[in-house]
A and B are shown apart, each in its own frame.
Chain A
């Protein structure tokens, strides 16, 4: 009898979270529509239709959408992973930059006929390691000195971003180009494209595999259990013998490594070079993706997809319906605000019950 009740509770909880996420999306759609109406008299239905058509209307469109989903998938998983342990990794932005930088540097250093698989593998690993170092450092400060990880992460973001910027302004700059970017790593070392002439690469598959691995790790292993325990009740976990320090450091390091992959896949999948300032704020959108996805790998996949649709449909929406592309940002911001407010849904439910 007891087992059944517990099981029911679990399912109910995740359904409720699903309702919350869907509710948040709908609410933000409504408010965005309202803003559209008020600000320009644009028909929001038109605009949303254009959005969907732009994002999913053709094979190329879908490929573009998925291509935009990939980085959000990685960074969302990084944030979700640390969230599960009750830690906030706001340092994804810096971690993805340093990951991209080190991976590019490695690939550039490994030019000269080495097997493709090896170059990609080693570059990816160095990228992940640099992200892990940054994240782990953040975790160390939090675990040993109880410094707020948000502050440290924000500062590290700046350090990493500007360091990478410095590198491509100077030592790593492509002498043949006027833009602040590194030399190309070479077409042969980039990831294979799933759809030719699109931005969708095998990085998507890597991301999905990672999501599956993370699910298994978090929910089916002892270490994953320790992580969740620390997230739910730190003191209880400690009393049960789980090492807080170790867990915090390793979690932040792993989160950093995953975030670094965001940058690495951008370089190896899209541009083939490290371009100064290439991230349109992935680090922060990642937080939104993780929260919207309720920190669950499947949720993260779906919400990364949603954000990908929003990003890739924005252009079409602005051509066809004359709505500013920034309306997407407004919508994203609203989704974040609503989904982070579980009480709002409870509030609405209570009102309906009356």
Chain B
């Protein structure tokens, strides 16, 4: 009975929200990508590269964790570019390209571990992104927990969710993106540069997945471990489909619920 009460406590909500952050980021990335008509099965690979990028930037090259985050985004974006070039320019089978990227990234991250830190599948520890507390807002009775001692990622994520919803559904660019996904030929006839939009979407997806991966290695823990992403990429596949007809909010809520369920196991 006590457990049940705990399940619905603010604590649990917070933990769930925290654990959902990488999922939310990556799934927004993949929604953007899919809306432009490119299937991205390589989410896991891009997240892995982001995870290792964050640690690389944080230890090997500098000791400022935020630079690690920047590197994570860059590396995720590069892999996004790879997927984009393969699928858009060379008409590769998108699913195969995604799977190939996953395997490639899986191997590459381990090779990097060996080469940079001379360890098999484990990196050195890196400084984490510190948590912050917003002074005024944290005094609010219940919601205050939302502003106390949270990683900045939380706010960044919420911001990204809002912004991508806005752009996707309230701007011309978003409308064009959705049209490309549904009827690329109609969009092209209307004068929309289909290729450009697709490139941007896929690279953006890579960047967001990179950011998501960086959360895993630089916030949730402080190093990179072999196969860190642990299949989170696959779970996202379901998430992104359900947002096709709905709003991104619904979608984030679903990620939230998914993690809620995970908490049940704990």
Contact = CB atoms under 8 A, between A and B. Distances in A.
Interface of A: 35, 39-40, 88, 90, 148, 150-151, 154-155, 157-158, 281, 284-285, 287-288, 291, 324-334, 336-337, 340-344, 347
B103 A332 contact: yes
A285 B120 CA distance: 22
A329 B238 contact: no
B114 A150 contact: no
A135 B111 CA distance: 35
B200 to A, nearest CB: 21
Nearest to B89: A343
Interface in B209-266: 231, 234-235, 237-238, 241
Given A326-B107, A330-B108, A332-B107, A151 B93 contact: no
A324 B100 contact: no
A340 B87 CA distance: 10
B90 A341 contact: yes
Nearest to A287: B99
Interface of B: 39, 41, 82, 86, 89-93, 95-97, 99-115, 120, 231, 234-235, 237-238, 241
B99 A344 contact: no
Nearest to B236: A154
Given A39-B111, A332-B107, A337 B237 contact: no
Contact of A347 (B41, B90, B107): B90
Most B CB atoms within 10 A — which of A325, A332, A336, A344?
A: A336
Contacts of B97: 337, 340-341
Given A155-B238, A337-B86, A340-B97, A288 B103 contact: yes
The 7 A-B residue pairs whose C-beta atoms are closest, nearest first, are A333-B104, A329-B107, A326-B110, A336-B100, A330-B107, A333-B103, A324-B114
B238 A326 contact: no
B115 A333 contact: no
A326 B102 CA distance: 13
B103 A151 contact: no
Contacts of A150: 39, 41, 95, 237
B106 A324 contact: no
Nearest to A324: B114
Contacts of A90: 95, 99
Nearest to A327: B111
B107 A328 contact: yes
B101 to A, nearest CB: 7
Contact of A337 (B100, B120, B238): B100
Nearest to A284: B99
Contact of A341 (B41, B92, B104, B231): B92
A333 B107 contact: yes
A277 to B, nearest CB: 12
Contacts of B111: 35, 39, 324, 326-327, 330
Nearest to B82: A337
A38 B100 CA distance: 22
Given A284-B103, A336-B100, A343 B90 contact: yes
A137 to B, nearest CB: 16
A286 to B, nearest CB: 10
Contacts of B107: 326-333
A294 B102 CA distance: 21
Contacts of A285: 103
Contacts of A331: 107
Contact of B120 (A151, A157, A324): A324
Contacts of A40: 115
12 contacts: A39-B111, A151-B237, A158-B234, A281-B103, A284-B99, A287-B96, A326-B108, A326-B111, A329-B104, A329-B110, A342-B91, A344-B90
